[in-house]
Every structure is written in structure tokens, then in C-alpha cells.
Amino acid sequence: MIVEIGHYALALALGVSVIQVLVPFWGVVRQDRALASVGSSAALISFALVALSFAALVASYVRSDFSVSNVVANSHSAQPLIYKFTSVWGNHEGSMLLWVLILTLFGALVALSRNTLPPRLRAGALSAQGLVAVAFLAFTLFTSNPFQRLSPAPAEGQDLNPILQDLGLAIHPPLLYVGYVGFSITYAFAVAALIDGRIDAMWARAVRPWTLLAWTFLTLGIAMGSYWAYYELGWGGWWFWDPVENASFMPWIAGTALIHSTVVMEKRDALKVWTILLAILTFSLSLLGTFIVRSGVLTSVHSFASDPARGVFILLILVFFVGGSLALFAWRAPLLRQGGLFAPVSREGALVVNNIFLATACATVFVGTLYPLVLEMVTGDKISVGAPFYNATFVPVMVPLLLILPIGQSLAWKRGDLLGAAQRNAAAFGVSVLVALALIAFTHGGPVLAPLGIGLGVFLVLGAAVDLGERIVARASGWRAMLSRAKGLPRSAWGTALAHAGVGISIIGIAAAAWSSEAIAVLKPGERLTSGRYTVVLEGVSPRTGPNFRAEVARFQLFSGEKELAPLEASKRIYTARSMPTTEAGIRTDWLSQAYVSLGEAQDGGVAVRLYDKPLILLIWIGSIVMALGGGLSLTDRRFRLAAPKRATPAAAAPQPAE
């Protein structure tokens, strides 16, 4: 019964979303406020229905209801409760439902948000967002229905894919989807503004929090996925330039560009056309990611045809939303007036440069991801585009951008002083060069690019500090004045500095990876293996039984030099239901570095062991978290929060029709 309620609620949500598209749109066309305000109610109802539907699926999973074919295929009664729960989105159908849940959640948030949105813009945005919801609800219902019953019901499920039986599955997809789907709001606002034909700084201010929110979550989602891959895969790789990763990275880069271009628009009423285009492209890249991953086009062009219903449906969604919005853009964008002026050397100018580079970086990943597909379709020839390609193209595009970042950041708005900005950052630059030179001398004969990368990272962190320092220290006398200046500094300034410092921190971690070392050997109990600064001694191997797996657990003692650090366990598991093996690496965090042990096959009376020394590896993810903190901090900036009371005042003075 619960399953049917869920199914029914999902179908009803589709109907309500159709209302959410049509009625507010009609209201905007007819200038009818009452009709326009229907969008808000529809968005809230639609979210409530999808939430009910999602809850029904969760209930089926938690109760191991094996009459639902989706539960059978992805769950097992012996799974721990947390994995029963996360299995809900550990598969195609369930993750589509999660996607739709988050999509309608964002619609509901727009409906509830009490900021100074012009009613027409809100109605238009809800209508556009409703259209996205209609498309994905229809896709879920007609091609990926998680509520399909199975008769007769089997006694046991087939278990969740063992690599997904990890806490990572509880955290990573929800974060990632909030990021992906959050950009649908900026997209909807862009479409609404195009239909309306008017766009100004107010639009930028309305859109910016949503962009920041989506970006912050996408940052965390990508970082979390990367860390998950790092500890789960057994050899410490954390980024593979895999098309699936690129699919999430492209919206992230475009979203980063969008955050920066909306700043210019809010401040100077400029870059409007470009910002609108970016808002459209960012979500289009999210949709492209959905298509790439969902259609199976990746594995090969041919497997795309193996499940044509889903692939073609998503392709149609992609073509409709990307093509439709770009056509609308081509038609309406010329109506948008350019706003304020600024000199080429100014903060705005620097942000334009930022956008050129980020757009190029994004396009590089785009071309690299899709080129093999297109080439195979056109000529039938297969090529691979892997990490070496991106190292040779993406990195050279990003490095100059990051090098000029601190200088651009300390340029004044409207008209800047390049020499002054360079002078303000001279000390930071000098220190960074010294750090790089010292590292080169110290690690003589090692990789040369790594010290340079670390120098760049240090420059970014110091540059962010210089920027804050200038604002707090330079024009204040005495501690008290500084403190009050620090307090008075807008949160978004702190957020910017944090986010930029986070980029620097991540770069230090990435660069330091060049010094990681690896050792492989067959160990018998009592034998030792050394890699870099770490040594492990194998103490013994013993079997162990988990709830739904059997494991061979190897126990080690970890040494740093001759100093005993900690006992460490690494294991190989066989999940009984699918008889699929996984490795569980033993990881010991040592300050910012990690010792990483993983097991290979048992052979010659011993077991194959590999030990990695991963210096400063944690900085990669710490940097990402710092970036996200910066995003979150900007989100709490006064100018996004202050909007509420402004709106309440006139409403109190004269009652207005409900919205």
C-alpha cells in the first residue's frame, strides 16, 4: 500500500508541476498577480508530494519490501540499516527520485524565500523551474519508475553494489545533487528574465545566494566523492579525469565563473548578457552530465542504443532545455541593455579575465570529454583522452588565472591601480618564490613542478591574507580600530578570502602528491615494508565475518622511522550476495599526511601488500572544505539577509493580495 501511495504521489506531483508551469506563466503574460502567485503554492505542494513519494521508497527499503523490484535489485535484508537507507539512491531509479526531490525542494525554497524578488520574476522562475520538474518527473515515472512491483516476490534481495556500502554513499550523492540541481534555480531565473526582457542588479542580487548555495554544495560533493574514491579504491588515486567526474566538474567551473560574473553585475550592472548565458550554460552542463551518465553513451556509442528509452528521453530533455533556452537567449538577449562602465584595469576587468579563463577551462574539459564520442560517431575511430591531456591543457589554462588572482583581488572597483595592486602583493609573491626555491633546493633531484605548485598555493593563501589585511590593518590605527574594522567587514569579503585561500590549500595538497611514494611486496607475518617515511610490519592475517560479507583482515604495526605510530588494519572483503570483492585500505592520518596500506592477493605463503606515503594529501580536501566555508560565509552576508524586513513594511501598511 505504501508503495502505491508513493507511486500515486509521484504521478500527482507531475500534474501539480504542470500547473506550476502553466498558471504562473499565464499570470505573467496577463499581468494577473493572483494567477502568478499560484506558482508558489504549486511548488510547495509538488515538493510535499515528491517528499511523500520519497518517504514511501525509503520505507520500502528500510522494511526490505522485496515485492518492489527496485528494492530486490539493490538491497539485502542483512545489510546494516544505514545502507538499507542509502541504497535508496544507490541505483538509477532511486537516484532519479532523489534528484527530483531536491529539484522540487529548490522550487519550494524559491516559493518561500522572502527576499525582494519582483513578483513577476518569481512567477516566471517558478514556471521555468516547474518545466524542469515536469521533464524529470515524467522521465522518472515513464522510464525509471522505482515503484515497480515484482510478483512473485523473492525471499531475498540481490544486495547493494558492495563498493557503495560505505558511509560515502550517505553523504556524497545528496551533496552533489544539491549542487547540480541548485543551478536549476539560476537557470530558471535567467529564463524568467529573458522572457521578461528586463534584468538589472536586483536580478543579480536575487540569483547570487542560489548560485552560492549550489556551488558550495557542489564543491563539498565533488570533494567528498574524491575522498571516497581515494580511500575505497585501494591505491590512493583521488581524481581520474573520468567522464563521470568531468560531468560534475564542468558545472562546478561554470558555476565558479557565474559567481564571479554576478558580482560584476550586482556592483556595476554590467556583463548582463554574459551572466545570463552563463546561468543557462551552467545548468545545461548539469543536464549534460545527467545525459552522459544516465544514457550509457559513455561506455560506448553502441551501448547507448541498448537502452534507447532512457537515453533518448534524456537526450530530448537536454535538447529541449539547452536548445530552448539558447534560442530564447538569441531572441531576447539583444533587448538587454548594458549597464555601468569600468576601466579595463579594475576589479571588474579582473573578473572579466577570470571569466575568460574559467570559460576556457570549462570548454577544455567539455571538449576532452565529448571529443572521443563525437570522433567515434563521425569516423568510427576510437581515441582516449586521459589525465595526460588535461595536464597539458587544463593546467596551463588555470595556472595564469591563479597567478593573477591575488592581484586582481586587490584592484579597486571601477578604476584600479595595477602597480599598486602588484606592490601590495609583492611581499606575498616574494615569500612564495622563496618557499618554492627552498623546496627545490631541499628536495634536490626530485620533481621540479611540485615546489612551483606549492609556491603557487602559498601565494594564493598569502594573497587572500593580504587582501583581508589591507582592509583591516591599512586604514586603521590601533588594535581597537582594527577589531572594529574586522567586524565591520562584510561577510562576503571574509568568504571571498576564505574561498581563495581554500584554492591555494588544495593546490598545495595536489602539488605535494608528486612526492608520494609507493612500495609493493609479498609479506609474511613479521616481515616489514618501507615506503617514504613509513614502515609497516605485518603481524598476522585472520578471517572475520561481517553482517553481509566475509573478510580477510591483515593487522599491521605502523612506524614512522623507528617511532611506533599505531596499529593498522587493511582487509579484503567478499560480499556474499554478489560474491564481489572489495578492498578496505588501512589509513592512518599523520598530521596532514597519510600512511595508506592496501592488500593484494595472497601468494607464496604471504600476502601482497602495498604501502603508500601520501605527504600533505589531506590538504586537497581541507582546501575544498575551506572553499565551501567561504561560499557558506558569503551566503550569510548582510545584503542577502536584510531583504526580509524591507518587504514586510509596505505589506503591513496596506494589505496586499496573498502571494
Angle at 217 between CA 132 and CA 315, to 5 degrees: 30
Stretch touching another protein by CB under 8 A, among 103-111, 235-243, 321-329, 448-456:
235-243
Distance CA 273, CA 277 (A): 6
Cβ at position 341, least distance to another protein in Å? 5
309 scored as a contact of another protein (CB under 8 A): no
Distance CA 60, CA 71 (A): 7
- Comparing CA positions, the residue from 570, 563, 577 lying closest to residue 598 is 570
232 scored as a contact of another protein (CB under 8 A): yes
C-beta separation of 248 from 218 below 8 A: yes
Stretch touching another protein by CB under 8 A, among 45-53, 61-69, 361-369, 498-506:
361-369
Give the cell for residue 241. 579525469
> Among residue numbers 618 through 657, which ones bind another protein (CB under 8 A)?
650, 653-654
Angle at 149 between CA 146 and CA 152, to 5 degrees: 145
Cβ at position 72, least distance to another protein in Å? 15
Q: How many CB atoms lie within 10 A of CB 337?
A: 11
169 scored as a contact of another protein (CB under 8 A): yes
Distance CA 64, CA 98 (A): 19
306 scored as a contact of another protein (CB under 8 A): no
180 scored as a contact of another protein (CB under 8 A): yes
Residue 529: which residues within 8 A CB-CB, separation 6 or more? 519, 521, 523, 535, 536, 538, 609, 611
Would you say 138 or 521 has its CB closer to another protein?
Answer: 521
240 scored as a contact of another protein (CB under 8 A): yes
Of the candidates 153, 309, 327, 367, which one interacts with another protein according to CB under 8 A? 367
Cβ at position 233, least distance to another protein in Å? 5
Distance CA 292, CA 132 (A): 18
Of the candidates 107, 124, 130, 296, which one interacts with another protein according to CB under 8 A? 296
Stretch touching another protein by CB under 8 A, among 13-21, 150-158, 291-299, 483-491:
291-299
Site mask for another protein (CB under 8 A), range 315-354, x = bound? ----------------------xxxxx--x-------x--
Cβ at position 356, least distance to another protein in Å? 4
Stretch touching another protein by CB under 8 A, among 128-136, 185-193, 253-261, 374-382:
374-382
Would you say 375 or 418 has its CB closer to another protein?
Answer: 375
Cβ at position 149, least distance to another protein in Å? 22
Residue 259: which residues within 8 A CB-CB, separation 6 or more? 208, 211, 212, 215
245 scored as a contact of another protein (CB under 8 A): yes
Stretch touching another protein by CB under 8 A, among 12-20, 51-59, 357-365, 633-641:
357-365
- Comparing CA positions, the residue from 102, 108, 239 lying closest to residue 177 is 102
Cβ at position 532, least distance to another protein in Å? 16
Q: Which residue blocks in 31-149 are alpha helix, DSSP H? A: 33-36, 38-62, 69-74, 81-86, 92-112, 119-143
Would you say 392 or 441 has its CB closer to another protein?
Answer: 392
Residue 239 is which amino acid?
A: W
Q: How many CB atoms lie within 10 A of CB 175?
A: 20
Of the candidates 299, 306, 423, 484, which one interacts with another protein according to CB under 8 A? 299
Reduced to 3 states (helix: H, G, I; strand: E, B; else coil), residue 610 is: strand
80 scored as a contact of another protein (CB under 8 A): no
> Among residue numbers 582 through 611, which ones bind another protein (CB under 8 A)?
582-583, 598, 600-601, 603, 608, 610
Of the candidates 25, 61, 147, 177, which one interacts with another protein according to CB under 8 A? 177
Would you say 380 or 526 has its CB closer to another protein?
Answer: 380
Would you say 576 or 636 has its CB closer to another protein?
Answer: 576
Q: Which helix (H) or strand (E) holds 401?
A: helix 387-409
Cβ at position 364, least distance to another protein in Å? 4
Would you say 561 or 581 has its CB closer to another protein?
Answer: 581
> Among residue numbers 378 through 407, which ones bind another protein (CB under 8 A)?
379, 381-389, 392-394, 396-397
Radius of gyration of the chain measured on its C-alpha atoms: 27
Q: Which helix (H) or strand (E) holds 197?
A: none
Would you say 400 or 490 has its CB closer to another protein?
Answer: 400
455 scored as a contact of another protein (CB under 8 A): no
Q: How would DSSP label each residue in 615-634? A: TTTHHHHHHHHHHHHHHHHH
How far the first Cα of the chain sits from its last, in Å, is 36
Burial 445-457 (b: 16+ CB within 10 A, else e): eeeeebbbbbbbb
> Among residue numbers 519 through 538, which ones bind another protein (CB under 8 A)?
520-522
- Comparing CA positions, the residue from 155, 153, 159, 105 lying closest to residue 132 is 105
Cβ at position 476, least distance to another protein in Å? 35
Distance CA 114, CA 377 (A): 49
222 scored as a contact of another protein (CB under 8 A): yes
> Among residue numbers 190 through 209, which ones bind another protein (CB under 8 A)?
198, 200
Would you say 155 or 392 has its CB closer to another protein?
Answer: 392
Q: Classify 269 in phi/psi space as left (phi over 0), alpha (psi -120 to 50) or beta.
A: left
Cβ at position 650, least distance to another protein in Å? 7
445 scored as a contact of another protein (CB under 8 A): no
148 scored as a contact of another protein (CB under 8 A): no
Stretch touching another protein by CB under 8 A, among 43-51, 244-252, 254-262, 621-629:
244-252
Q: Classify 489 in phi/psi space as left (phi over 0), alpha (psi -120 to 50) or beta.
A: beta
Distance CA 373, CA 315 (A): 15
Return the residue matching grid coordinates 567561504: 630
> Among residue numbers 101 through 130, which ones bind another protein (CB under 8 A)?
120
Stretch touching another protein by CB under 8 A, among 19-27, 76-84, 285-293, 617-625:
285-293
C-beta separation of 292 from 369 below 8 A: yes
Of the candidates 298, 317, 472, 558, which one interacts with another protein according to CB under 8 A? 298
360 scored as a contact of another protein (CB under 8 A): yes
90 scored as a contact of another protein (CB under 8 A): yes
Would you say 198 or 533 has its CB closer to another protein?
Answer: 198
Residue 501: which residues within 8 A CB-CB, separation 6 or more? 460, 461, 464, 465, 626, 630
Between helices 201-232 and 272-295, what is the axis angle to 10°?
Answer: 30
> Among residue numbers 13 through 72, which ones bind another protein (CB under 8 A)?
31
The residues pairing with 99 across neighbouring beta strands, listed in sequence order, are none
Between helices 449-469 and 387-409, what is the axis angle to 10°?
Answer: 30
Stretch touching another protein by CB under 8 A, among 64-72, 474-482, 579-587, 625-633:
579-587
